[in-house]
Structure 1
Amino acid sequence: MIERVTVVGAGLVGQGWAIAFARAGVPVTVHDVTDLDRIRENIARSVQGLAAEGLCEDPQGLLGRLSFEADLGKAVRDADYIQESVFERIETKRAISLEIDRAMRPDAIVGSSTSGFPGSSFTAECSHRNRFLVVHPVNPPHLIPLVEIVPAPWIDEDIPQTVRRFMEAIGQSPINLSREIDGFVLNRLQGALLDEAFALLGEGYATAEDIDKAVRDGLGFRWAFMGPFETIDLNAPEGLKDYAERLAPMYARFAEQRKPDRRWTAEAIETAHWQRRELLASESLRTRQEWRDRMLARMKAFKSQNKL
């Protein structure tokens, strides 16, 4: 049973995890090597934002379940579950996994927030490697509930389901992968869309803003409450197979038009960057991120109220 949690690495993702755990009533220890007072203030500000949107009835109670510890050994020694969320660099992931491995209880579970590295690429040398797995959230995890659970080949077979039940209990929306693959599910889907978006921009078919609009005001309207398979299942009179019989040849033509060497070219990246800067100055990025989080909070509240 998971009753005490430690978050190792309290950047934006780690802070979101701490809020998600504590909001569900779980005591959380937060560890980071940087300024813990600043991290505490950032979390408090995010929690007040949740309260303003009706997503946290007891902000002081939530904050009261958080403790902060600069010493990694002390932070993890009593934890049932440890969520590692340090910087996304393989050497950093490997080093922190070994540190956690030396200090953790043998029966604890360690989930990594890595966005694309298979767990086996940085936990192979851990003596408790059978207790480590990828538990990848979407940023920020206290507002976007999806969690990808990805086992390494040597994981104890009961652990992925234990983590899934825990994530469901705290209000997240977990999915289980059967085995490792770079990027998991979400980032591979996102990557395919980004590949096409950069190609369309780089080849001059549309601007970055119009491509964003195609997703924001088109695909995204449905994707906010249904996935691609349900979307096409509902877009033909007889369901998914009917849709495929009608439109699979069209999608096959699209696939044939894609060059095998299509990449995010430097020119397309530069074009997208400056088109974005024309719409949003660099110094306004933080303000826009805060706006995004408010919109996500309202979306989360709406979906919760409507059981979506």
Structure 2
Amino acid sequence: MARVVCIGVGTVGCGWATVFARAGHEVVLYDADADAIAARALPRIEATLEQLGREMPTGETPADIRARIRVAGSLEEALSGAEVVQESVREDLAIKRALFDEIGAAAPDDCLLLSSTSALPGSQFLSDIPHPERALVGHPVNPPSHIPLVELCATPLTAPETVERARRFYTEAGMEPITVNKEIDGFILNRLQYTLVAEAMHLVGEGYCSAADIDRVMTSGLALRWASIGPFMTAHLNAHEGFAGFVGQLEGMMKKMGADARTDYDWGPDLVAKINDEMTRRQPVGAIPDAQSWRDRRILATRRLQSGDTAPGAKGDGTAPDRG
């Protein structure tokens, strides 16, 4: 098992620490705000391990896994003997550049360097470090302790074997990596997510529906199919002739809706405040931690459902042939 260093202990960093410790690795936590580790990170990790209960490796308890996580008092201490680094600090280019300058200089030369950045191209802060061929983006979905997707995106200087090493590392830790073949702002998940949200802002802003209605369209409509098979497989199964047949029937509508969608809708603070007020009435901000715990339990239940039914074309392992 590897020594994995998690730098930055927000929700993403804590999620990663849980993932790696459950996989059997020794995990070292470091954050420039030392007080945040004791006050927020360790309690969050312990609560997550308790919630994951039945998902634990055979014969292990939350306490067994927690014992593999320790705290370093300095970055140099954290990086001593490190085999993998997962960085999850704030989305600020200057901060990431400065941090990876330190990491690149202090980490062992063969240490795998991974960034959780959700928006910044890795080449902007991973290229000017010692041995840039060992560094790439490993972008998760928040919280990675519950959601297995991770997007691997190399920089132009990343070695192909580094990408494969990262893929093996994440896969063996229970994650499901995809490859982003070339750099693009936001990678794949956020481009899809924010495009949909932009059109949702347009629909609410122009009075077509409420924010609650948008959420219901997803949870009672699109998400019921997409949780298992994704949009392309949904289309493929919605026509007797498969995806080509679906497009053949609906191409005109698809292109018209795509052209009509207002992903460039100029929403402003008034619309943000209106939606925030509606969301707050439904879910008070002070109770968000409890709601996050409820959300995470629902995510786990969905994942169990995803893996529990054998779909047509599957190999009997309880997973669909391709979830899209």
TM-score (normalizing by structure 1): 0.95
2:88 counterpart residue number: 85
Matches within 5 A, 1:105-116: 105-116=108-119
SS at match of 2:85: strand
Inter-CA distance 251–266: structure 2 relative to 1 (3 Å threshold):
farther
Whether the 8 Å CA contact 2:19–2:173 is kept in 1: the answer is yes
Q: 2:242 aligns with which of 239, 244, 248?
A: 239
1:45, distance to aligned residue in structure 2 (A): 1.5
For residues 266 and 233 of structure 2, the distance between their equivalents in structure 1, rounded to whole angstroms, comes to 29
1:259, distance to aligned residue in structure 2 (A): 4.8
The answer to whether the aligner puts 1:42 opposite 2:44 as a matched pair is yes
Deviates more, 1:177-186 or 1:291-300: 291-300
Post-superposition Cα deviations, 1:112-167, rounded to whole Å, max 9, x if no partner, equal: 00011000111232122221110000011010000000000111121111111111
Q: 1:288 aligns with which of 291, 298, 301?
A: 291
- Please provide the CA RMSD for this pair: 1.5
**Higher RCO by CA contacts (8 Å cutoff, separation 6 or greater):** 1
List runs of 5+ in structure 1 lacking aligned partners.
none
1:297 counterpart residue number: 300
Whether the 8 Å CA contact 1:85–1:112 is kept in 2: the answer is yes
1:305, distance to aligned residue in structure 2 (A): 4.0
SS at match of 1:224: helix
The answer to whether the aligner puts 1:14 opposite 2:13 as a matched pair is yes
SS at match of 2:55: coil
- The one-letter code of the counterpart of 2:11 is L
2:259 counterpart residue number: 256
Post-superposition Cα deviations, 1:278-308, rounded to whole Å, max 9, x if no partner, equal: 2112212222112111212222333344434
Whether the 8 Å CA contact 1:29–1:75 is kept in 2: the answer is yes
SS at match of 1:226: helix
1:260, distance to aligned residue in structure 2 (A): 7.2
1:108, distance to aligned residue in structure 2 (A): 0.8
Post-superposition Cα deviations, 1:50-92, rounded to whole Å, max 9, x if no partner, equal: 11xx112521211111111121111112111100011121121
Percent of paired sites with the same residue = 37
Inter-CA distance 26–223: structure 2 relative to 1 (3 Å threshold):
same
Whether the 8 Å CA contact 1:7–1:29 is kept in 2: the answer is yes
For residues 260 and 211 of structure 1, the distance between their equivalents in structure 2, rounded to whole angstroms, comes to 15
For residues 70 and 201 of structure 1, the distance between their equivalents in structure 2, rounded to whole angstroms, comes to 48
For residues 134 and 68 of structure 2, the distance between their equivalents in structure 1, rounded to whole angstroms, comes to 25
Post-superposition Cα deviations, 1:28-53, rounded to whole Å, max 9, x if no partner, equal: 111112323232222112111111xx
The answer to whether the aligner puts 1:126 opposite 2:129 as a matched pair is yes
For residues 112 and 267 of structure 2, the distance between their equivalents in structure 1, rounded to whole angstroms, comes to 37
Post-superposition Cα deviations, 1:257-279, rounded to whole Å, max 9, x if no partner, equal: 23574233333222211111121
Count of aligned pairs between the two proteins: 305
For residues 58 and 301 of structure 1, the distance between their equivalents in structure 2, rounded to whole angstroms, comes to 20
- The one-letter code of the counterpart of 1:70 is G
Whether the 8 Å CA contact 1:112–1:133 is kept in 2: the answer is yes
SS at match of 1:92: helix
List runs of 5+ in structure 2 lacking aligned partners.
310-317, 320-324
